[in-house]
Structure formats: C-alpha cells, structure tokens
Amino acid sequence: MSIAANIEKIKQQLSQNIKLIAVSKTKPVETLMEAYNSGQKIFGENKVQELVGKFEQMPKDIEWHMIGHLQSNKVKYIIPFVALIHSVDSENILLEINKQAAKINKIQQVLLQISIADEETKFGFEEAELFNLLVKFKNHEFPNIEIVGLMGMATFTENEEQIANEFAGLKKLFDNVKATYFSSQESFHQLSMGMSSDYQIAIANGSNLIRVGSTIFGGR
C-alpha cells in the first residue's frame, strides 16, 4: 500500500479528538513528502540533527514533534521551531528548555515522559519525581514552559493485557495530575501513548496523540 493509503487507513480508526503523528525517523525527505502531499502535517523525529535537517528542507506549515530522549547541549537547536517536545524526562532538560525558550521569548509546549514500562531502558519520570517537579512548576520555576500533558511507552511485549494495564495506569495518573495541578487549565489535555504495535490499545485506554512510524512508512 502507498504511504497515503496507510495514513488514511489509520485515520479512519481515529475519532476527531485524536491526533496522528507520523514518525519519520530514518526515512528520507522524499518519503516524508509523500505523507505531506497526502495531507499529513504532523511529523515526529527522535534525533535532533535529523529533525533540524528535515525542518530546513521541508514546507514550513509542518508541525514538528520531538519524541526522542534529549541531551541538554542540543536543546537549543530545536527550540526555535519545534511545536511539542514529548520526551522531557528530567528536571535538567526542563531547565535547559526553559532557558533556551526564554532567549527567544517563546513559551515551549512540552509533555512529561513517564516511566510505565517494565524495562530499565526506557526513559521517564517515576511518579514521586513527577509530583516533586510539578510543585516546582506550580511555583513558577519554569516560566517559559507550558506542560500540556504526559507521554509514555509501554513495555515491548506480546502481552496485550500488560500493555493495556500500563496505558490505563498512565491515563489514571494523567487524570490525577490534571485534577491536582491543572484543573483550571484547558491546555493540559494531551496524552501521548501508542505506536504501530499498540496504538489501538492506547486509544482504548485514553490516548489522544498516537506516534506511528512503521505502519505508515514501512520497517526501518
């Protein structure tokens, strides 16, 4: 099937409030342009250099999302144009994003990545760390940051019940954080969960932002 047909097939499964991010990492610009020309305007990348390169080469009405682990020294390259950073996984990164956003008078929208998988390799905050950070956030320590939601990656397993439990746990945490810290803010509304192998399970458990790569572009 064509890239356009792959996107169409996924979109047919999504209700209006759910957004699809086309995860285009490792794919060349010509391939991304096929998706763009079919109407896809949101792309996700996981490496700074690749993200910057594609931003420079592609049309300017694209919404670029950073979905991969960030190093502090590279934050400055993406702040001028990135729409949403999904992968904020430490206070240090948040401080650096705040600093770089302040330099250009931007309020940078971010998601906080939460560790939900049963794997050491995945990045993200534990719940206790998250609540500590939210207190600091509420004390205005990060004036150039807007936290608009949470992100999580489930364990890489065939066990769908485990995946569903992990996503359901993150949805519960999301609702709790929203009620406790953002009850008056409409902007805290994004829950980024689900990739090619598990986006249907993620949607069933409350995701409204799915990050799909190989089902659109083929294997890497």
Ligand X SMILES: *Cc1c(COP(=O)(O)O)cnc(C)c1O
Binding flag, residue 214, ligand X (CB under 6 A):
yes
Binding flag, residue 212, ligand X (CB under 6 A):
yes
Q: What angle do CA 209, 211, 213 make, to 5 degrees?
A: 155
In the bound state with ligand X, the residue whose beta carbon lies nearer, of 27 and 171, is 27
User: CA-to-CA distance for 55 and 110, rounded, in angstroms?
Assistant: 18
User: Which amino acid, one-letter code, is at 146?
Assistant: E
Binding flag, residue 47, ligand X (CB under 6 A):
no
In the bound state with ligand X, the residue whose beta carbon lies nearer, of 130 and 213, is 213
Figure out which of the listed residues 6, 46, 100, 190 binds ligand X, where binding follows CB under 6 A. 46
CB of 4 to ligand X, least distance (A): 17
- DSSP one-letter string for 40-52: --EEEES-HHHHH
Judged by CB under 6 A, the number of residues near ligand X is: 14
User: Which range touches ligand X (CB under 6 A), out of 4-12, 88-96, 104-112, 205-213?
Assistant: 205-213
> Which segments of 58-146 does DSSP mark as H helices, in order?
75-78, 91-103, 127-138
User: CA-to-CA distance for 79 and 97, rounded, in angstroms?
Assistant: 7
Per-residue mark of binding to ligand X, 153-192 (x: CB under 6 A): x---------------------------------------
Binding flag, residue 54, ligand X (CB under 6 A):
no
User: Which range touches ligand X (CB under 6 A), out of 3-11, 48-56, 95-103, 211-219?
Assistant: 211-219
Q: Which residue is nearest to ligand X (CB)?
A: 213
Spell out the residues 6+ positions from residue 137 whose beta carbon is closer than 8 angstroms to its own: 145, 147, 181
Task: Region of 82 please: left (phi>0), alpha (psi -120 to 50) or beta.
Answer: beta
Binding flag, residue 23, ligand X (CB under 6 A):
yes
Binding flag, residue 24, ligand X (CB under 6 A):
no
User: CA-to-CA distance for 82 and 1, rounded, in angstroms?
Assistant: 30
How far, in Å, are 48, 150, 167 from residue 145 at the CA level?
19, 14, 25
Figure out which of the listed residues 85, 145, 150, 195 binds ligand X, where binding follows CB under 6 A. 195
Query: Which residues would be at the binding site for ligand X (CB under 6 A)?
Result: 23, 25, 46, 67-68, 153, 195-197, 211-215
